[in-house]
Structure formats: structure tokens, C-alpha cells
């Protein structure tokens, strides 16, 4: 005997809300908050919070900007005049992020989670984030639903309507530059997970990354030494025993040698003054069963480059590596945990 209409509606609403709460993008106010980097400093002394950390972040910002504009900047010889030169970071980068976000939601819309059916998603999402979205969309499809999106930037004053495409970059604010140094087989991501094995101070520590070995994949056992926003990814035998044991910190010469191996770059930004319309349809007939419009304020986006050595190549690419701290927040919690002896 079929359920009464009111009960069927309540059941559908509960199912949809449960799916909203677990989606990589925060679609529900009931979803758990996800902190990003440098938002809290648990157990840190006051001078670490208010003096040392702002100082370290400022140094990292200066170094990161200089690195980006040196490796990604448009050569002045290719410009018609010096006045036309525009730094890659933040100007050109903001434009790239501003266009990547609408493209992402457009390609996610109506997807059943089958990666082979949407090869264009592999072109704009890192493997780790693609897998996360795929699992969620597959779960939607298994339950008989498809989730659809419409994203648009809005006028910050009164939200009267869409803004001109030339002004999209004004809705993007870059925050932190991350660089993971190492070989292509080691520095595979700026978001590698793993427990902290040695801690030197609040933002200097070593992590252990382990995963099953796959043919053609990265080593099954790696280490990451991190200082603020700079990471060095290596295998245990690549450092002295005193460093591996946590007694000593890697010295400058070793870090310099790691830099020569190449790097991946990740950049955290926030996107604001936009609207995301979300509506869920039945996979069988396209009937809309739930719909909501979210105001986008400070949506966290991490973009990640392909691996490169020296100058960024013409065939290099940028992909979305995280949205709304879906991958960053678990990593932050790992780094705040007690050291795994």
C-alpha cells in the first residue's frame, strides 16, 4: 500500500536533506562547519597567535607571490608595452578562478557519478576531489535522484542581478600560496593526508603518508616536511637518520636540493557575492523534488597546478583541488592531533 502523499513528501525531504549534509559543497546550514588553514591555533601561546604566526604568514605571502610571478609571469618581451604587463598573481590568477567555479558547477549538474560519462570533469578536478564528488553523485543516483546547479555572480549592492563577466575576478580573494616540492612521483598533491610524526613548532612538522602501492603510482611510504605553506615530499631514505627520527630539522641545503626537483602549487582563495541555485530531480522523469538558492559568501576554493620544474610550461594546467574545505578540514584536524610516536 503506497504511503500517503504527506508522508511521502516528508520521506523525500529527509532523504534530500541527508544528502545535502554530506555533499562536498556545504549545501545545508546543518552541515558541520569546516575550518580552513590558519583560522585557529589550538593550545598555542598568545605570542604564537598574535605575533609569530602573522609574521610567518606575511613572510610566506611575500615568498609565495614572488615565486608565482617569477615562474608564471608573462615575459615582458611578449607584451606590446611595459604598461600592459599584468602580474600572474593575483590578477591573472583571480580571473582563472572566477571562470573555473561556474564551469565546475555546470559540469557537475545532472551527473550520475560515472566518471567515464563526464570526462570533462577530469580536466578541471584533481583525482582526489573528483573521487569525492563521484561517490556523492553516485549515491544520489542510487537513491533515484540527480542534483543540478546554476551558479552566478551577483551585484554586491542589493544583489540586483548578474554582473558583467569582465568583473567576475572582483569576486575572488586569494589567501594562501602552497608549494609542494619534490619529484613528480612524490609531490603528487598539495593535499596529501597523513599523521604528524614529528612537531617542531606550530606550523613546522613532519607527516607520514602511506597508501597501497599501485602500478605506476607514487611510493607507498612518503614523508612531508612542512614549514608554514611550503612542503617537501620525500621518501624515508632521502634524509639523515636524525631527521627521520625527528631529532633534527632538515637544513637549508637539503631543502634547496628538493626545490630543484620541481613542485606543485596550490592557492587558496575565497569566492563571495554569488548565488548557487540547487535543485534535485528524480532520475527517472526529471521531476523537481527539492530546490533551494544559497548565497555564496567566502566559499573556499583551492586551485592546484600540474607538476613542473623551473618555468610553468605552456601545456601546464590548473585544476580545482578543494571546495568548501571538504579535503582541507580533515587535514587540519590531522595536523592538530597529538604526535603519532
Given a cut of 90, whether residue 28 has pLDDT beyond it is: no
User: Which range, 199-203, 263-267, 295-299, is most confident?
Assistant: 263-267
**For 42-59, what is the mean pLDDT?**
85
Given a cut of 90, whether residue 216 has pLDDT beyond it is: no
Position 7 confidence tier, pLDDT thresholds 50, 70, 90: very low
Predicted local distance difference test score (pLDDT) of residue 75: 46
Predicted local distance difference test score (pLDDT) of residue 232: 97
| Cβ–Cβ under 8 Å, residues 151 and 101 | yes
Given a cut of 90, whether residue 74 has pLDDT beyond it is: no
Which of 13-17, 201-205, 297-301 shows the lowest per-residue confidence on average (mean pLDDT)? Answer: 13-17
Which of 42-56, 156-170, 220-234, 327-341 shows the lowest per-residue confidence on average (mean pLDDT)? Answer: 156-170
Report percent pLDDT > 70 for the chain. 89
Given a cut of 50, whether residue 3 has pLDDT beyond it is: no
Predicted local distance difference test score (pLDDT) of residue 22: 87
pLDDT digit string, tens, across residues 146-162 = 999 999 999 865 555 67
Look at residues 328, 329, 96, 337 and name the one whose alpha carbon lies nearest to residue 190.
Answer: 328
Given a cut of 70, whether residue 82 has pLDDT beyond it is: no
Position 340 confidence tier, pLDDT thresholds 50, 70, 90: low
Position 26 confidence tier, pLDDT thresholds 50, 70, 90: very high
The mean predicted confidence, pLDDT, of the chain is 88
* Higher-pLDDT residue of 302, 91: 302
Amino acid at each position: 500500500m503506497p504511503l500517503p502523499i504527506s508522508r511521502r513528501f516528508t520521506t523525500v525531504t529527509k532523504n534530500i536533506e541527508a544528502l545535502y549534509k554530506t555533499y562536498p559543497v556545504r549545501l545545508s546550514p546543518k552541515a558541520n562547519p569546516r575550518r580552513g588553514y590558519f583560522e585557529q591555533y589550538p593550545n598555542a601561546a598568545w605570542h604564537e597567535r598574535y605575533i609569530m604566526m602573522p609574521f610567518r604568514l606575511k613572510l610566506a605571502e611575500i615568498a609565495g607571490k614572488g615565486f608565482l610571478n617569477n615562474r608564471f609571469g608573462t615575459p615582458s618581451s611578449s607584451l606590446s608595452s611595459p604598461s600592459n604587463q599584468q602580474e600572474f598573481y593575483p590578477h591573472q590568477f583571480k580571473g582563472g578562478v572566477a571562470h573555473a567555479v561556474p564551469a565546475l558547477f555546470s559540469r557537475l549538474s545532472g551527473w550520475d557519478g560515472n566518471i567515464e560519462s563526464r570526462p570533462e570533469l577530469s580536466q578541471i578536478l584533481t583525482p582526489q576531489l573528483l573521487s569525492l564528488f563521484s561517490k556523492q553523485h553516485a549515491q544520489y543516483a542510487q537513491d533515484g535522484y540527480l542534483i543540478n546547479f546554476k551558479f552566478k555572480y551577483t551585484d554586491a549592492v542589493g544583489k540586483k542581478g548578474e554582473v558583467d563577466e569582465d568583473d567576475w575576478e572582483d569576486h575572488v580573494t586569494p589567501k594562501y600560496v602552497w608549494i609542494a616540492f619534490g619529484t613528480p612521483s612524490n609531490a603528487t598533491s598539495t593535499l596529501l593526508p597523513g599523521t604528524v610524526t614529528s612537531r617542531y613548532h606550530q606550523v613546522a612538522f613532519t607527516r607520514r603518508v602511506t597508501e597501497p602501492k599501485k602500478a605506476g603510482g607514487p611510493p607507498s611510504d612518503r614523508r612531508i616536511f612542512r614549514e608554514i605553506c611550503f612542503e617537501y615530499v620525500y621518501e624515508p631514505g632521502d634524509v639523515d637518520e636524525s631527521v627521520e627520527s625527528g631529532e633534527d630539522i632538515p637544513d637549508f641545503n637539503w631543502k634547496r636540493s628538493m626545490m630543484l626537483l620541481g613542485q606543485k602549487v596550490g592557492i587558496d582563495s575565497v569566492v563571495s557575492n554569488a548565488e548557487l541555485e540547487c535543485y534535485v530531480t528524480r532520475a527517472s522523469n526529471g521531476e523537481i523534488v527539492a530546490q533551494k538558492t544559497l548565497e555564496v559568501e567566502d566559499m573556499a576554493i583551492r586551485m592546484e597546478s600540474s607538476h613542473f620544474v623551473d618555468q610553468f610550461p605552456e601545456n601546464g594546467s590548473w585544476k580545482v583541488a578543494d571546495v568548501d574545505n571538504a579535503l582541507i578540514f580533515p587535514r587540519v584536524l590531522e595536523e592538530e592531533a597529538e604526535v603519532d610516536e
